[in-house]
Structure 1
Amino acid sequence: MLGKNSRLYNSILNVGTTAMATLFTMLLSVVVRAFLNRNLGTNYVGLTGILTSVITSLSITDLGIDSVFIYLLYKPMADRNTDEIGKLMVLFKRVYMWIGTFFLLLGVICVPFLKYLVGAQAMRIPNIYLIFFLYLLNTGISYFFAAYRVILNADQKYYIIARITFLTTFVTNFLQIIGLLLIKSFVLYVILLLLSTIATNLIIGSVSIKRYGLRKLPRERINNIKFENDETIPTLIHNIIGGISNKLGVIFVNSSDNIMLANFETLRIVGMYSNYLMITNGVSSLLSKMIASVTASVGNLGSEGNEGKNLTTFVKLTTIINFLVIMAVIPMSLFFGTFINIWVGGKNILPVVPTILITLNCLLAVIRYPALTFIDAFGLQWIQRWKSIVESAVNVGVALILLIVFKMGLNGVLLGTLCSNLLVVNWYEPFLVLREVCGRRYRQYLAEVIPAFALFIGAVLFSLGVLMSGVIGISLWRSLVVIVISEVILLTIVYFVFRNSLGMELITSIFGRFFKRRTV
């Protein structure tokens, strides 16, 4: 039976709800972006990408500690130790308050240097400083409510966050479309985004307070609180230091691209690239949130200390993600041009080479998720504290050389990200998980992933060949026919390659339980 409080049940509920909410949110965002592009132009699309990157860079102040807090909550949540949970929440709320305040102050300090962050073209857009402040508040205000998200996540109730976020986003997107049609004001567009963030956080905070009785939190000063586990504060400090390193890597890899392009390319190129990123980010966000929604279950599993079970779960997650990525590579790469043409017009279509590089970077980012999930769930941030510094150095260093010396523009930036993924993160993170929590069982892991990598390479080469041949063009029906035929062939190959894998066994088991449950 699939009990309502079981780890598997909570994981399935989190994954299912998150997947549906993220999918519909992504579709709404695509519609809103189309209205933004058609009513205000590509420059404003580029501006959203640049400002999002700048604000993400400033958010280094959160130190990546949300996963650390969730990790600290696993045991008291499993033991239903309300006293310890209350003490931890006091700590979390105070730390997040400091972080939010520092983040906002850092944003204000950056105002005189804004032109160096967003580029000369962006500075010519009306009300640029007001728009920057609105984006700053939109991110900063979430820190003051972050503790309420943490406790829901640690309790395997991520689906509550997903539902609330979807509802507020739906209303906001509807109002943004009306505003773009009637008023055509980018300032109004961002104000609605800010109001949505406020509403989302207030509702999540209210739900958490009511669900966990957080109105009765102890009022002691943090330095007077005595935690049951003497390692709570040392663990927090160590993982915050590791989190700083991880955050630096995320910033330089995910946020530096648009900032570098803003200074070496036109705002229009940034806008075109942002359209492609919106699609890949939508796909990767969907898979990321599905995996993140089971992090609490993995952390709960970790408390058992069973290395064999840890390995089995890690391999299952890896196989499932590899399967999904393989099936997404061909349709995403082949359908880019057709979709962009229908969505924002043919003049926004990028050439074949950057299209393939964007697809590859998305693929390499997504296949990291199982390892990142285990790193968060087992509190391994401190151990990998140097990894992200090396990652960011490789990414920015290679990109700048290709931009300045070889004048490669967008391709140079994309190759910088590709090199940092291949040379640093995509091998090290699984190695760390296998070494620390899976008993160093490398051979079994490699037996599962090597066939997947071979299929990755084959799928990418096939997509490149089709795009270079011009057989698709921007025809919707040609694209669909080629994609369907390709997916049928690929699905057949994937089935025979993965039919005996642990991931396929898990999928079969889940479907079997659901069908059995419905027939009882």
Structure 2
Amino acid sequence: MINIISRRFFIEYFGIEILGMNGVLTSIISMLSLTESGIGIAIAQSLYVPLALNHKEEVNQIIVLFKKLYRIIAFAILVLGLLLMPFLGYLVHTELEIHFVMAAYVVLLFNISFSYLLACYQSLLIADQRKYCVNFVLMLFNVIVNSLQILITLKTKNYFLFLIIKLISDNIQNVVLYYTAKKRYPYLSMKKIGALPVQYKEKLRKNISGLLVANLSTYLIFGTDNLLLSLVCGTAVVGLYSNYVIIIRAVKNILSQIFQGMTASYGNFLALKTKSEAFELFENVYFLNFWISSFCFSALFVLLNPFIEIWIGNEYLLPSGTVFLLCWNFYSDTMRSSIELVRSAAGLYSPYPFFKYWSFLEAVLNLVLSLFLGSYLGVFGVFLGTSISSLISCYVMPWNVYKYVFDKTSVLFYHKYIVYQCICIISTVITYKLGNLVATYNIYAQFIVKMLLCCVMPNLIIYCVYRRRKEYRFIHESLSGKFRGRFMKLNHPNES
């Protein structure tokens, strides 16, 4: 919510052109972050087993390696970013002065470079199933920085102070997580530790190699929209698009917290249980993934434009067809959360190059289609290219995981995926049609009624279809057990 309030002040005081420029510069810096090559994910995954078995020296060895690599990455991003500065005029199509653009770029560049210096401690806490601790710190600093940015905007109307507050806050946040990890793991201060075994480094090298392609592909699919829109339609359109992104990303982050929070636990489960038990648990997580993603897709498609109209005005609206594609891309992306959870927990990044090649093909296809369709259809065409290309990973990634983790045919996954997709579309159409029947000239009342419909209809339809299935019973019993446990603790606080 604080991000949405901050964005309202940003648009009012700085304008849509600066907002669009900010989005394009962020995309460019995200491209530079590909230097990281997935090192963080690969090393964090390697922490699951030593943390579970309390192998302190091995954990320490991994963190030392982590720190060395990330210092190199921070320096590389800074140097590459500075070398890219002379070309900003070709990448950012805006009426703003180029010196203004370059100054903003430098602040953003230093922010991302500094963020890597202490990043390993955040990864350690997450790998040890303490993501709740990380989330608390991130949420606290998010509220602080947005509040300060709003205050500075009202007092000074200075865009660069707005950026510098973010830079300072992010670095203090990393220092807090550093001391949190140091306090939780005092053995990280050990002076004498041995080197990691050669076979471990070789495995890490292979995983990083696989993740480099995967990360490059992910960026070309999801990270280039701002650049493509700037080239095809201008920077102001990027500003319009970014208003939708802030809402969609907020919802996606919530879903990401849910499934990323399960990754470490599932990694331990894979290490200690059989493949059949791991597959059974995955089936339940997959159903939960479908339910949450379908509900969010319906709510976003029905409510996004009414919310934008209330929030900043109807002059900032995108056409309904474009909004549908944005929401569909969100659905396609989040529906992979459960399968990505298994891939991350199993460390399945490098051993099977077939997956890497298809991932890269998807990225290239997205870039070509988005440019081609965008030149004819504008904003709609850019997002249509993403929708078409994302079909590849929707079918190749499950094949990879089912074959090499579960030893099962991926046909089981595809069948459920198509059924889940149909139920999602049906529930969304019903909700949308019912919402359009609301006859009132009060946009606030109309929004509230549509919001109530979104809360009830998709969930009611999914419940009616799946209430007798084992996946639903598992979710119901898990949630009931958790709430019963909390209730018992509230009523018997002295019992251990």
**Which amino acid in 2 is paired with 1:339?**
F
Q: Specify the alignment match of 1:109 in structure 2.
A: 83
Separation in 1 of the partners of 2:470 and 2:21?
44
Q: Specify the alignment match of 1:504 in structure 2.
A: 472
**Which amino acid in 2 is paired with 1:414?**
F
Kindly indicate whether residue 286 of structure 2 is the aligned counterpart of residue 315 of structure 1.
Answer: no
Deviation at 1:490, TM superposition (A): 2.7
Separation in 2 of the partners of 1:436 and 1:215?
34
Separation in 2 of the partners of 1:301 and 1:36?
45
Kindly indicate whether residue 181 of structure 2 is the aligned counterpart of residue 208 of structure 1.
Answer: yes
Deviation at 1:470, TM superposition (A): 9.7
Deviation at 1:387, TM superposition (A): 2.9
Kindly indicate whether residue 111 of structure 2 is the aligned counterpart of residue 138 of structure 1.
Answer: yes
Q: Specify the alignment match of 2:381 in structure 1.
A: 412
Q: Specify the alignment match of 2:420 in structure 1.
A: 452
CA shift in 2, pair 1:502/1:124, >3 Å: farther
Kindly indicate whether residue 293 of structure 2 is the aligned counterpart of residue 333 of structure 1.
Answer: no
Q: Specify the alignment match of 1:293 in structure 2.
A: 261
CA shift in 2, pair 1:440/1:367, >3 Å: same
Aligned residue among 436, 439, 450 for 2:407? 439
Deviation at 1:269, TM superposition (A): 1.1
**Which amino acid in 1 is paired with 2:386?**
T
5 Å matches for 1:1-400? 27-121=1-95, 123-124=96-97, 127-218=100-191, 225-227=195-197, 230-304=198-272, 306-382=274-350, 383=352, 384-400=355-371
Kindly indicate whether residue 459 of structure 2 is the aligned counterpart of residue 485 of structure 1.
Answer: no
Deviation at 1:453, TM superposition (A): 1.2
Contact map agreement 2:399 2:409 (CA 8 A) in 1: no
Separation in 1 of the partners of 2:94 and 2:444?
38
Ranges of 4+ aligned residues in structure 1 off by more than 6 Å: 466-474
Deviation at 1:492, TM superposition (A): 2.1
Deviation at 1:379, TM superposition (A): 0.9
Please give the per-residue CA displacement for 1:92-145, whole angstroms capped at 9, x wherever unaligned.
111111111111111111111111222243x52662212101111111111111
CA shift in 2, pair 1:465/1:354, >3 Å: farther
| TM-score (structure 2 length as normaliser) | 0.92
Deviation at 1:480, TM superposition (A): 2.6
Q: Does the residue aligned with 2:349 lie in a helix, a strand or coil?
A: coil
Contact map agreement 1:319 1:503 (CA 8 A) in 2: yes
Separation in 2 of the partners of 1:515 and 1:459?
28
Contact map agreement 2:122 2:177 (CA 8 A) in 1: yes
Task: Structure 1: give runs of 5+ residues left out of the alignment.
Answer: 1-26
Deviation at 1:336, TM superposition (A): 1.3
Contact map agreement 2:77 2:113 (CA 8 A) in 1: yes
Q: Does the residue aligned with 1:396 lie in a helix, a strand or coil?
A: helix
Contact map agreement 1:46 1:270 (CA 8 A) in 2: yes
- Structure 1 window deviating more from structure 2 (486-495 vs 79-88): it is 486-495
Please give the per-residue CA displacement for 1:323-354, whole angstroms capped at 9, x wherever unaligned.
01211222211211221112111110111111
Deviation at 1:210, TM superposition (A): 1.8
Separation in 2 of the partners of 1:472 and 1:373?
44
Contact map agreement 1:308 1:439 (CA 8 A) in 2: no
Task: Structure 2: give runs of 5+ residues left out of the alignment.
Answer: none
Contact map agreement 1:319 1:448 (CA 8 A) in 2: no
Separation in 2 of the partners of 1:351 and 1:472?
21
CA shift in 2, pair 1:214/1:96, >3 Å: farther
Q: Does the residue aligned with 1:279 lie in a helix, a strand or coil?
A: helix
Contact map agreement 1:87 1:218 (CA 8 A) in 2: no
Deviation at 1:462, TM superposition (A): 4.5
Contact map agreement 1:317 1:370 (CA 8 A) in 2: yes
**Which amino acid in 2 is paired with 1:29?**
N
Separation in 2 of the partners of 1:389 and 1:470?
45
Q: Specify the alignment match of 1:5 in structure 2.
A: none
Deviation at 1:464, TM superposition (A): 6.6
Contact map agreement 1:352 1:464 (CA 8 A) in 2: no
Q: Specify the alignment match of 1:402 in structure 2.
A: 373
Separation in 2 of the partners of 1:460 and 1:59?
36
Deviation at 1:445, TM superposition (A): 3.8
Separation in 2 of the partners of 1:463 and 1:358?
18
Q: Does the residue aligned with 2:47 lie in a helix, a strand or coil?
A: helix
Contact map agreement 1:319 1:449 (CA 8 A) in 2: no
Separation in 1 of the partners of 2:474 and 2:166?
39
CA shift in 2, pair 1:451/1:215, >3 Å: closer
Q: Does the residue aligned with 2:272 lie in a helix, a strand or coil?
A: coil
- Structure 1 window deviating more from structure 2 (253-262 vs 484-493): it is 484-493
Separation in 2 of the partners of 1:459 and 1:118?
40
Deviation at 1:433, TM superposition (A): 1.4
- Structure 1 window deviating more from structure 2 (458-467 vs 481-490): it is 458-467
**Which amino acid in 1 is paired with 2:225?**
D
Deviation at 1:474, TM superposition (A): 8.0
Separation in 2 of the partners of 1:355 and 1:494?
23
Contact map agreement 1:72 1:232 (CA 8 A) in 2: no
Deviation at 1:190, TM superposition (A): 0.5
Superposed CA RMSD: 2.2
Separation in 2 of the partners of 1:500 and 1:91?
50
Using the aligned pairs only, state the percent identity: 26
| TM-score (structure 1 length as normaliser) | 0.88
**Which amino acid in 1 is paired with 2:379?**
L
Q: Does the residue aligned with 1:385 lie in a helix, a strand or coil?
A: helix
Deviation at 1:219, TM superposition (A): 5.5
Separation in 1 of the partners of 2:285 and 2:129?
17
Deviation at 1:485, TM superposition (A): 3.4
Q: Does the residue aligned with 2:356 lie in a helix, a strand or coil?
A: coil
Separation in 2 of the partners of 1:257 and 1:112?
22
Contact map agreement 1:90 1:217 (CA 8 A) in 2: no
**Which amino acid in 2 is paired with 1:205?**
Y
